[in-house]
Structure 1
Amino acid sequence: MSVYVVLSRSSTVLSRTIRIATGDEYTHAALALDADLDLMFSFGRRRARNPFAGCFKRERLDDEVYRSMDALPGLVLEVPATPAQREAVGIEVGRFLLDGHTYSYNTPGLLRGLVGRGTEDGNRYFCSEFVYHVLRHAGLCDLGVPRWEVRPQTLRDVPGTVLFEGDLKQYATSRTGGGAASGSATAALTVDRTGVRIAA
């Protein structure tokens, strides 16, 4: 069994700013429960044109923020998990979905973190904070740093195997044999305290 860390770099102003400030190749992170990335989650933009109004959300590679890009540089890291660890990840993601109104995007933490002055801020998360929180909660990794220090690029140090590196749009097409997202990516989810899955 596995879970998947998805790193990417969009062409947005915020992404370019983060890359200039850090020199990092990747500026966004998400956590997927499947190799097809149908069940992929992170903290990101609520609206494509507003980088500072964020929320916890299910992400898709054909979201509006990526749609205008010819290519989406990225990496898919397969992280091996025991059945118990995989279940713990699903339950924690489900908890974030069910209690989404209590979480918000950690814009202040993101900006402070870029200058090395971040702090953990209760129920506020930025993308890589969330991914690291869930992986550490499930016992899949411990990078020995507080969650606010974890940038998307830092997650390359998570033990696992690089399943793909290149244009994530091509990866999505190769997995589905069609467009940027498979049919199940548009399907409803079943979410409860036992986890999250595609509705039957």
Structure 2
Amino acid sequence: MNANRNIYVVLTGTGTAFSGIIKWFTRAELNHASIAFDKELSEVYSFGRKKAYNPFAAGLIREDFVHPFYSSADCAVYQLSVSKTEYEKMYNHVKGMMEQQDRYKYHLLGLIGVLLNVEINREDAYFCSHFVASVFEKSAVHPVAKPSCFVTPEDFASSLRAHKIFSGKLSYYMRRAHGKKVHTSGIHHSGSAVQASVASRMMRLQEERVEGVV
């Protein structure tokens, strides 16, 4: 296979209450999996919370790793080389799903199925690592040797160990990948009002974490 494009699997751990529930099922510190189509992690897709501060509204999402919600998240990034054809096949599959984004639901029962080693089918429903593995199933690339409905974030960590390009704070990776864009996005150019808005969002996030909302 002529490998000339890169696909990225991103594992994250936010330390929130809902993340702790998922951790109980997956037995992994980094318990959320996403698929990215660029090294800068600008195009990242997964199944998770649709609103950063509401874990109960979940489904197919495009993730924004620059959001303050991820400011203290740990992560691991894995890079896989694929052919241009395989890349486009996976990318177009995800974009097609995004065009009907509202039809897809978060498959919480599927996590129970992983725990019991029983496949629990639900139409148009996925959990995060299930989704990522299913995207690979649309191509000839299979990083984990098991059906997508049983794949956990830890399976990716084990199978892709040799492909790891980063492990540490997600915020550091994003700063390194984007340079000053992450530090100055809308702050130095918009004045103190935007600075106050960012500070307010950060305070709100910390308060909700203390209260167990996220």
Whether the TM-score (by the shorter chain) exceeds 0.5 is: yes
What SS does the corresponding residue of 2:117 show, helix, strand or coil? Answer: coil
The alpha-carbon deviation at position 63 of structure 1 amounts to 3.1
Greater mean deviation of Cα atoms: 132-141 or 41-50: 41-50
Shift of 1:9: 0.5
1:161-182 per-position Cα deviation (integer Å, ceiling 9, x unaligned): 2111111110000111125489
Q: Which amino acid is 2:58 matched to? A: G
Partner of 2:178: 176
Q: 1:176 to 1:108 in 2, by over 3 A?
A: same
Larger helix share, 1 or 2: 2
Matched with 1:194 is none
The number of equivalent residue pairs is 180
Tell me what 1:149 maps to: 150
User: If each structure's strand is expressed as a fraction of its own residues, which one has the higher value?
Assistant: 1
Aligned partners of 2:28 and 2:154 also within 8 Å: yes
**Root mean square deviation of aligned Cα:** 2.2
Q: 1:181 to 1:153 in 2, by over 3 A?
A: farther
The counterpart of 2:163, out of the listed 157, 161, 170, is 161
Residues 10 and 78 in structure 2, CA contact (< 8 A), matched pair in contact too: yes
In the superposition, relative to structure 1, how do residues 116 and 38 fare at CA in structure 2: closer, same or farther (>3 Å)? Answer: same
What's the TM-score, normalizing by structure 1? 0.80
Matched, 1:27 2:28: no
CA positional deviation for 1:17: 2.7
What is the aligned partner in structure 1 of residue 13 from structure 2? Answer: 9
Q: 2 CA distance for matches of 1:21 and 1:108? A: 11
Q: Unmatched 5+ residue regions in structure 1?
A: 184-200
Matched, 1:85 2:86: yes
Alignment of 1:19-98 (within 5 A): 19-63=23-67, 65-66=69-70, 69=71, 71-98=72-99
Deviations 1:50-85 (A, max 9, x none): 32321211101133532xx4x211111001100111
- Is residue 140 of structure 2 the alignment partner of residue 139 of structure 1? yes
Gaps of 5+ in 2: 186-214
182 and 3 in structure 1: CA distance in 2 versus 1, 3 angstrom threshold: farther
Q: Deviations over 1:108-151 (max 9, x none)?
A: 21244334344232210111111000012121115332222111
